[in-house]
Each structure stands twice: as C-alpha cells, then as structure tokens.
Structure 1
Amino acid sequence: MTTVANSLRGLCGGALHLPGDPGYDTARMPWNVTVDQRPAAVAYPADAAEVAAVVRAAAVAGLRVAAQGTGHSAGPLGPLDDVVLLRTSAMTGVTVTGRTARAEAGALWVDVVEQAAPHGLAALHGSSPDVGVVGYTLGGGIGWYARAHGLQCNAVTAVELVTADGTLLRVDAASEPDLFWALRGGGGNFGVVTAVEFDLIPVSRVYAGMLAWDWREAGRVLPAWLDWAATAPAEVTTALRLLQVPAIPQLPAVLHDRQVVAIDGAVLGPAGPDLLAPLRALKPFLDTFDDAPAASLIRLHLDPEGPTPSVSRSALLGDLPAAAVDALLAVAGPGSGSSLLVPAELRQLGGALGRPAPGGGALSALNGSFALFSAGIAATPAMGEAAVADAARVAAAMAPWTTGAYLNFAEERVEASAAFGASALRRLRSIRAAVDPSGLFVANHSI
C-alpha cells in the first residue's frame, strides 16, 4: 500500500509519515505499546480543514481512515495496512464559555479540567488525565460524577464532524438528529470528529479520597462494600480494586510493594463523612478522604500516564451474590497467584447510569451494577502471556454474572451486540450505512 499512500505526500504541511520514513515508527505508536499497528500512512492534521483534505485524498487513493488521538484502545482496530491513521494530537484547543466546553479532537481531559476549574465548573471526565476527550466521549464516558449525572456522551450538545465525502458538519439535535444520536455512544463509526461541545456541572469541591486495607482483608471488605454500594445515594461514585502495587515514584510510598484492597471515589454535597462511616468502620490502614478541589479528581485513581505496555479485560456485571465474591477472590485475591497489577477492579454503576438519559444518545444507560476491569503490565513477552492468561481467568470466573460490555474499557474486539440493545444496534447500523456507505472509516469498535 506504500505506493498508493505516496499520493498523500504533501498533505498536512508535510506532517505525514509512510512506512520507511524516519518518523514512521514513532508516529504509529499507540498508548498501549504492546499493540503493533502498521498503517499505510500516518497523518498529523493541524485543523479540521486538513482533516477533510486527508479524508478526501484517502478515499481517492482507495484507502480507509482511522482517527486516533492518544491511541487508547488501539487493539480492536485490527490490521491497518490499507488505513491512513489520522493522529489528531496537534488539535488541542479547549475553551469554556458559560457552562459549555468545546474541546478539539486532540484535547486531553486534564486540559478541560484545568480550564473549567477557575469557573467553579467540572466535567464528566474519567479517571485518567491523559485520555482524550473525544474518544472517551464517543464511547460513553464513566467518571466520578457518573451516578449523579450519567454518561459524558449524554452531556454533549454539538459535534463537529468530517464525513466520508470530506464535508465538515456541525451536528446537533436540531440539525442532524439521527447522526447526533449515533455519535453519543456509538463510537468513531460515522466520521472524524474534530471537536465536541458539552455541558459542564457547577462543582468546585468534592469529598474524595482513598481507603486501603491489606488484601488479606478482601474477604470482609468486598462484601461490606457491595452491601454499602447497593443502597448508596447517587451522589457517591466509588471503585473497589484489588491491587499489587509496585514501588514506583508515581504511586504513594505507603502503598509500595504492597498487596491491597482499595476503595476510592467522590461524594457530591455535604454528606460525605456520614456516607463513608460504614467503610471507615472496617478500619483501613490508609484514609485520604477529605474535602478536595474537584480538579484533583483527575488523578485520584492513580492511573498510569504516558505510553504503557498493558493487557486488560473488562465486562459489565449485574448484582454480585456471595458466590460471585468467592469466584472473584479465587482468581484475583490472596492466594490466587495472579500476576496482574490490578487483578480486579469494580466500578460502581447504577444511579443515573442505570436509567435512560432524557434525550440521550445511542448509549443512554449501562446494563449493569458494576464495571469489571483487570489489567497487567506486559513489559516482556513472558509478562504479557501471564497477564493475558490471568485476565482471561477473571473474565471467565465472572461470566455467570456478566450482563454485557462497556466498549471504552475493551482492549480486545467485542461484538457490538454486547454493548447495545437490538433496536439501538439496528438504528446505528442504518445510520452508518447512510453516512458512510463505502465503509471508509475504521473505528476501534465497529458497529
């Protein structure tokens, strides 16, 4: 495909790399460096006009197009030998006007958080500062305010999109209602998003932090947290993790070289201390919950920043009875022999996440009580093989309680039917056929 891709040279002011070019190997690198993506070309547009020019040129050359900002969730893209990888990392503009943010395709969540905070506002961001706003938003978006305010995709008010014929559209509920519906949760199947506009929430301070116990306490902490989570009000969103913490500078020294069960999260409103009392009664060795600036939540979860060699598996789960607790601890808890950095994480769902958002998009709610996530570091092939096997063990053990998939967490190919209801999936496919009849666009989760 290199000969065909040669016709693209000169686009993006020369910021285009083909196989064999000096900058190609750096340009093709995703966030998860275990994914060996080898596209026909990599283009770095500076703005929406350059995006449109690349899309038109790729179509003429018989190539497909995949948009990629940070490179998260690159694994499901599959082979890219006939694909122009359109890296939007130069398009980083963020503005806040009133209670609305506009973020360009390459903006990171930390950029939005820092712009919104001086206005006393917060966004429905996730747990990682270096995740891209657009990819996160197109796939749904679960954050620390999610049980109170729902998915980030349903906070979107407008999308700027380059379509398959190279046209730049502004899409909103009035101008393109079907496409607007599809873009809110349907992923990158419909074009190249060059910017999104979305509502912010009036939050400047929260009650947030982390509790931690030795993981040998997981047998009493996990069931207690599940009971507590079942009746917790929507103002609180938490996650419970089994962690095997390495001694690296980015993590608190008190956790270094320890195996722990940790609960972190945030509470909106004044009830934080009272709500946390039942968990504090379990006597954690670490308790950092306190009144905090909302902007601090972007790094609360201690997610790794920068390119990382990783392996993960995920699923949506229903309610978890005692048998589910036993099954999870057997493969992810003390004595399991797991090699994973995060043998298991359970993110608390429900609240606004469990009911259709008024006027919501393709992903209006999540079918589950918890989101399961397991992850390991694959710094060597042997570590990667062990992590794949151990993450698969967790997924298999929790299969009886699995209710579906949340595609933003999926680093492997997942059937779209696991993430959408039958009617929503039919509608998504109909809209995709109308706006991209030739299948020009490659999404990390195809519908």
Structure 2
Amino acid sequence: MTSYLPTTTAGVVRRPGRDVAAGTLVEAPAVSGAKAAAIRVVATVAPAAVAAGVVAVGAGAAREADGLVGTLVPAIAGAAGPGGAAPALALGLFAVGALLALSIGARASDRSGRRRAVVAGLVLVALAVAATFIGLLPPAGLLAGIGAAMALMAAPAWLADARTPAPAVAALSVPAVVAGLVAGALVPAPTIVLVAAVVALAAAATPETVAGPQTPVWRLPAKPDFRGRASSVVLLALIAVAVPFAWLPVLPAAIVAGAVLLLIAVATIAATAEAASAATRGRTATAARRAASAGASAPVAAPARPGTRAYRAAVRAFDTTEPLTPALAVTATTSADVAAAVRTAAEAGMGVRMHSTGHAAGSSSDMSGDLLVRLALAGGVTVDEERRLVRIPAGAAWRDVVAATAPLGLAVPHGSSGHVGVVGYLSRGGLSAYARSVGIAANHLESVELVTADGREVTASRDLEPELFWAVRGGGGGFGVITAVTVRAFDPGEVVTGTAMWELADAPAVARAWAEWTATAPAGITTSLRVMNLPPIPGMPFRITRRKLLVVDGTAIDRDGRGASEVAGELLRTLRRAGRPVFDSWRSAGIAEVPFTHMDPDFGGIAHRTDTALLGAPEGRSAERSRAIVEAFLAQVTADGSPFLMAELRQLGGALAEAPDGGGAVAHLDADFAWFTGVMISRKRTVDDAAAAFAGVRAAFGDWVTDYTMPTFASDRDRPQRNYPAEVRTRVEALRERIDPAGLFRGDVAVGAR
C-alpha cells in the first residue's frame, strides 16, 4: 500500500456517523461487544485445536511405526506402506500440503474469507486425525498440512479484523498453539476430532468479519502477499515449531531438523525479499529526488523486447481479453523514464502507448509497431489535508488513494472498483460512486503533470496550459503521457452504502419501484440496477450465486441539507415494500467501504465482450420513460437463455446533468441511464453470440439509445459511438494536432474520442 503524507491537520470537518433508525437500514458494521467477543473466542481456540490435531497425526504415525495400527487394522496398515515408509511419506505430504495452502492462499475475501478458511482448516485437520486413526497416514499428512496452514494463517487475521490490537493477537495465538501442541500429546484422537468439529461449527455460526467493508467482494485464491504481512512469516514459524512436536517420535532428528530449517529458510527468504524490495523502492525514490534537485539525469529504464521478463512485466494487464503485444515495452517509475521512452519511440518512428493497471486493455487498438509504457511512478499518494488536495502518481489505483484520504474524513471521486487505475479513469471522464452528488470525476482535477511528444514535462491547470487542461479532462487521451494528477477531495459527511438483492420473482415490482424513484431522486444518492448471474466464486456468499438476481446498490452522502440516512432510507423503504431482499448490506458506513459496494471482481483473465450506451433524452426526466426503459432492460436480460453474466443500468442525473464552470471536455451527461453489460466468451458462446445479444438489447431500447457513450465504459472500436458533441471533438482534435503533430500518441486515443 502506498504511503500518504498529510501536511497539516487543519481544515477538515469531520462528522460522526449518525445512528440509523430501525427498519431504515440494516445493522451498521460497527464492532459490537458480543460479535467481537465471539470472534476472539473462536479465533483463539481454533489454532489450539489445529495444533492438537497436528500432534495427533504425528502420534498416529508413531503408533504405526510401533505396529499398533497394523495390529488393529491390518488390511489398511498394509496398504499404507511397509515399515516406516508411510510415516515418512506422511511427513513429506504434510509439508507439501502446507506449502500448497500457502501458495493458493487462505484468503477468499478480505471480509468473509477469514471465517471460511478457519472452518475449512478445522474440518481438514479433523479428517486428518480420523484418517490417522484408521491407518491412512499419507492422506492424513496432506490434509493436516493444508488445514493447519489455512487455519493458522486465517485465525490471527480474523482476530485483527475484529479490531484486536496486534500485540493481543500474538498474545492469544501463540499460547493457544503451544497449548494445543501439549493437549495433542495427552488427549485421545477421537476427542480431538470431536473438539475440532465443534470448533468448526462454532466458527461457521460466528459472525462475518466485524471491521471493514461488509459487502462481498470477488477474490480468487492467490499467493499470500508477504509485503507488510508479518502474519504469513509467523505462520511459517508456527509450522516449524509444530513439526518437531508431531514427528520427532517417528523420524531421525536430522530429518526433523532439516524440515525445520527449510521452513525457517522460506520465512527468512520471504522477509528478506520484502526488506530488499522496500529498500530498493526507497533508494529509487531517493535517487530520483536527488537527481531532480541537482538537475542531473537519473538512470532510466530501457525498453524491453518480447520474451524478456521486463517485457512480460510491462505488458501485464488486468483485462486479458486482448493480450498486449507491442514491439517494445518498458515500466516507468520516474518521469525521466517516461521522457526517455518518448524520445526512443520518436527516434525509431514508433508510436507511444501507455497503461497502468490495464483495465482498458481490451479496448486497445493494434500496438505491434508501438512502444508501450507501463506507468508505475514512485512517490506514493500525498495528501494536503488543509487544502484537500491529493497528488497521485500515475500507476496508483483508487484503493491506494482511498486508503490515504479516508482516515482524514475525505472522499475522492473514485469509480465503482478500487483496483482501477486513477489516470486512465480520469482521462476518460470518470463516472464515480458519488457521481450524482459530485458530477463527472475529471472535473475534480486541479492539475495534470505529463510528458508531451517533444519530451517536455508540462503541468496543466486552470492557470497553466488551460486549453490542455480542458482537453485532458475527459478528452480521451492522446495528448501526452500523464505522470501525475492532483485531485480535489471533498467531505461527504455521513456515508450510507450497500447492496440489496432480490429473487427474479420480485424483480418486476422492485425494478418498477426503482425506476419511478429515479425520476425525482435527490442528487445526494447514486445507485445502479443490475441483474447478476454469479457462479460460486470465493468471496461471494453461496446463497447469492447459481441463479439470476436483481441487484440495487449505491452510495448516499449528505447534500443539499439532506442527510444520507434520510435519502437512502426513502429509497430502501420503497424497494423493501416491493419485495423482500435475499441479501441486504445497506448501512451507515465508512468512506473506505464505498469501493467494495459494487462488488466488481478484482481479477481479470476471463475472455469477455461488453457493450454500453447512454439512454434517455436531454429534455427532462419522466417516471414513464424511466419505467419503460427499465422494463425493456429487464425483459431482455432475464429472458431464458440470456447470456449476460451481468447487465447494469447506472443512474444518471443530479450533478452529472450540470456542466460546471470551467469543466473539461466531458463536463456533464445528458441521459437518464448508462447501460453496461458483459458476456463471457467460451467455446459454447462466441463473439458473434455476444454481438447478437447486445444487438437484441439495443433493439429493445430503440430510440432511447443516444448517440453518446460514457468514455470510461466504451470498449468496442468497431461500433460507431462518440463521447462528446462535434464542436468539442473539433476543439480536442485541433489541440492534439498542435501538441503532437507527428501523431506519436494517436494510437492511444480512447474509443469514441475521435
């Protein structure tokens, strides 16, 4: 996580969250004594039960070595292997299982994965002890390794989620493991199985993570993040402690010592790698600052060719629907790297392309003759709290910015996904989670730093390069390589956010109620209506997967003299009268929770196609038109055989319909809704199938489809569309021609922006 450097503590108004009336919103996610206590009890007992189970497996191996199990169950013992082979194999599989669990990760979600991992770990350890008791030592070793790693990594994290201080987490977890190791040597195996099963049931009945966002978030298992996560290193150390207790009676001391040293070595390597990485980042930033202050040229990154590690790192993107295949690629960590890349491309007659997180990679045009610059500039997010200004280097994602501003009581106009890159989002306008309250996100820019086609480093603002500053705010790129932006933050007051879901049987009534409400909705709330058909994905409650559901999510803040609770409460009472939701997470919440509300997946790699359009008309809103649009939308996306994984109508109006003084190229939107949908591509569902599905929805919308699209969503270069009127396009193109006459950045212009 990048750092932030608040310069002062003055000038920010903080308003405490107000209590929400019963029946208006669901329970707020504040830590309650009973819930926190339940989590602390279960998350403390779980490591003890796991440690006892590991020792029981070791004791079972010792009994097999003595022939006791062979006497009781000779057929099974014979199948397990001759002599000491089965215990040795079990030890090896234990290590394999532990490393396997570490490699795939024990966090299905930052919000609900802790509990799931603890439950799964306890169940696996209980099965391992039972398998040991009947002589199946190798499977027992594998199950014990996986279960121990999952539970021992997740349980301390669960304690921390319940706002248990870090010293208390260690004070509870380590003695629990030690007590479990001792108990495992004294308590009969059947009792350990029973205890593990009971604790697993208790964990399953314990509340979800108390602190932090409560809305589910898609998160596939991934390699554990050692950066700043001492818990992973502590886990390896705990396994190293558990191994001698469990296996010393079975194997020679030298083998046990080797296993312990191996695990300690892994932990040491992980910690050393993180320290070295942090030191390298620090040296790079320091060198860049010294070079800048001394007027010297810092060493610059050289473009890499296909097949190299540096090339693969530079072309890595979130959206892998269309792989990025430039002729050269470089990762830029300083503005000097960017300027050098621009000069290299110009001298070679190549175009310059750029990306950071790669969320818009699927909309990129062919770049086989271009140089791609992946922006990952050092320096971190900095916050001037007094002036409410946030400087963000290119390459930072919105979650980095929210992490810096939320503790100060400040919000920024981020999108629905915290993992989206800031610069690409703002250069295309940006439709934020607070959009109806604060308008187009790009209008919150105060300055933009970029490298132009001639290699100059330019700062554009209302006073410096005002025409360029106007164009970069929604103009769609092609003006230069943006290296940093400064955004104006705001105080949202109270924040109410959440997601509610209904069965399709209730969808017509709920959707109609939402449509009628949108026609006169106050500007303090921004919502969307979606139909989602989720497969069972880690991080999602099982009860909301495997079928189509109607979803209404959004965020309300204090605006125009009306509180967020009042505004959101009116909507929720209307929707709940129309149908009872099967899932409801709306609540008075913190600023840091808003990026999770929309439940956008934070993993890519799934082949898909999308389509989007602005719907409605600029001559004023009406409940009749809103209702008709929503009914047409619902009929298409809920029909039998509908291929849509997700289809959405995002509510517009409010501040989005108002062009502020001094706004950018995309200053406002004249439409009722932004329509966005996606189809997964597979052998059974082709690109042509997706195109046909999109055409069907467009035909159903008819004349409600405007000639415009929201630049942030546009991805199909084959579909005629535009982001702004002809007079704006002419002005933007004239500026591009003036500052980039050779067309160095021409290939990087966004869909619909030319």
Fold shared, TM-score > 0.5 on shorter chain = yes
Secondary structure of the 2:449 match is strand
Please list every run of 5 or more consecutive structure 2 residues that lacks an aligned counterpart in the other structure. Answer: 1-297, 618-624
Q: Residues of 1 paired with 2:629 and 2:557: CA distance?
A: 30
Does the alignment pair 1:328 with 2:633? yes
Q: Deviations over 1:177-230 (max 9, x none)?
A: 110000111022100000000100113641111121112322222222110011
Does the alignment pair 1:35 with 2:343? no
Which residue pairs with 1:8 in the alignment?
none
* 1:145 positional shift: 1.2
Which residue pairs with 2:413 in the alignment?
124
Secondary structure of the 2:454 match is coil
Q: Residues of 2 paired with 1:392 and 1:158: CA distance?
A: 40
Q: Deviations over 1:14-50 (max 9, x none)?
A: 5632123355345324322111321111110111111
Q: 1:152 to 1:389 in 2, by over 3 A?
A: same
Task: List aligned pairs for 1:287-302, cutoff 5 A.
Answer: 287-302=584-599
Which residue pairs with 1:401 in the alignment?
704
Q: 2:570 aligns with which of 274, 286, 292?
A: 274
Which residue pairs with 1:317 in the alignment?
615
Task: List aligned pairs for 1:287-436, cutoff 5 A.
Answer: 287-309=584-606, 310-318=608-616, 320=625, 323-335=628-640, 337-342=641-646, 344-378=647-681, 380-385=682-687, 386-403=689-706, 404-413=708-717, 418-436=722-740
Q: Residues of 1 paired with 2:339 and 2:697: CA distance?
A: 43
Q: Residues of 1 paired with 2:425 and 2:645: CA distance?
A: 23
Q: Residues of 1 paired with 2:657 and 2:530: CA distance?
A: 21
Q: Residues of 2 paired with 1:315 and 1:12: CA distance?
A: 45
Q: Residues of 2 paired with 1:377 and 1:12: CA distance?
A: 43
Structure with greater helix share of residues? 2
Secondary structure of the 1:428 match is helix
Which residue pairs with 1:143 in the alignment?
432
Secondary structure of the 2:392 match is strand
* 1:81 positional shift: 1.3
Contact 2:303–2:341 (CA under 8 A) maintained in structure 1: no
Task: List aligned pairs for 1:158-173, cutoff 5 A.
Answer: 158-173=447-462
Contact 1:39–1:83 (CA under 8 A) maintained in structure 2: yes
When structure 1 is superposed on structure 2, of 165-174 and 67-76 the one drifting more is 67-76
Q: Residues of 2 paired with 1:230 and 1:428: CA distance?
A: 33
* 1:322 positional shift: 5.1
Q: 1:265 to 1:325 in 2, by over 3 A?
A: closer
Contact 2:301–2:337 (CA under 8 A) maintained in structure 1: no
Task: List aligned pairs for 1:176-255, cutoff 5 A.
Answer: 176-203=465-492, 205-255=494-544
Does the alignment pair 1:100 with 2:389? yes
Q: Residues of 2 paired with 1:125 and 1:428: CA distance?
A: 25
Q: Residues of 1 paired with 2:589 and 2:342: CA distance?
A: 44
* 1:405 positional shift: 0.7
Q: Residues of 1 paired with 2:632 and 2:524: CA distance?
A: 30
Contact 2:529–2:552 (CA under 8 A) maintained in structure 1: yes
* 1:273 positional shift: 1.9
Q: Deviations over 1:340-364 (max 9, x none)?
A: 210x200000011012122101001
* 1:75 positional shift: 3.0
Q: 1:12 to 1:439 in 2, by over 3 A?
A: farther
* 1:390 positional shift: 2.5
Q: Residues of 1 paired with 2:459 and 2:511: CA distance?
A: 46
Q: 1:14 to 1:164 in 2, by over 3 A?
A: closer
When structure 1 is superposed on structure 2, of 167-176 and 248-257 the one drifting more is 248-257
Contact 2:300–2:336 (CA under 8 A) maintained in structure 1: no
Secondary structure of the 2:644 match is coil
Q: Residues of 1 paired with 2:398 and 2:465: CA distance?
A: 26
Task: List aligned pairs for 1:42-57, cutoff 5 A.
Answer: 42-57=329-344
Q: Residues of 2 paired with 1:305 and 1:43: CA distance?
A: 24
Secondary structure of the 1:38 match is coil
When structure 1 is superposed on structure 2, of 76-85 and 426-435 the one drifting more is 76-85
Q: Residues of 1 paired with 2:716 and 2:479: CA distance?
A: 21
RMSD: 2.1
Secondary structure of the 1:54 match is helix
AA aligned opposite 2:670: N
Which residue pairs with 2:366 in the alignment?
79
AA aligned opposite 2:575: L
Q: Residues of 2 paired with 1:307 and 1:210: CA distance?
A: 22
Contact 2:357–2:420 (CA under 8 A) maintained in structure 1: yes
AA aligned opposite 1:374: T
Contact 1:28–1:38 (CA under 8 A) maintained in structure 2: yes
Secondary structure of the 1:281 match is helix
Q: 1:45 to 1:212 in 2, by over 3 A?
A: same
* 1:321 positional shift: 5.1
AA aligned opposite 2:573: A
Secondary structure of the 2:429 match is coil
AA aligned opposite 1:194: T
Which residue pairs with 1:4 in the alignment?
none
Aligned length: 434
Does the alignment pair 1:115 with 2:411? no
Which residue pairs with 1:3 in the alignment?
none
Q: 1:384 to 1:116 in 2, by over 3 A?
A: farther
When structure 1 is superposed on structure 2, of 39-48 and 274-283 the one drifting more is 274-283
Percentage of matched positions with identical amino acids: 39
Q: Which has the higher contact order (CA 8 A, sep 6+)?
A: 1
* 1:115 positional shift: 0.2
Contact 2:516–2:626 (CA under 8 A) maintained in structure 1: no
AA aligned opposite 1:300: T
Q: 1:121 to 1:62 in 2, by over 3 A?
A: same
Q: 1:64 to 1:128 in 2, by over 3 A?
A: same
* 1:414 positional shift: 6.6
Q: Residues of 1 paired with 2:404 and 2:699: CA distance?
A: 42
Q: Residues of 1 paired with 2:653 and 2:313: CA distance?
A: 41
Q: Residues of 1 paired with 2:484 and 2:301: CA distance?
A: 23
Contact 2:474–2:711 (CA under 8 A) maintained in structure 1: no
Contact 2:390–2:489 (CA under 8 A) maintained in structure 1: yes
* 1:324 positional shift: 3.5
Please list every run of 5 or more consecutive structure 1 residues that lacks an aligned counterpart in the other structure. Answer: 1-10
Q: Deviations over 1:85-134 (max 9, x none)?
A: 11013547211112111111100000000000111101110111110000
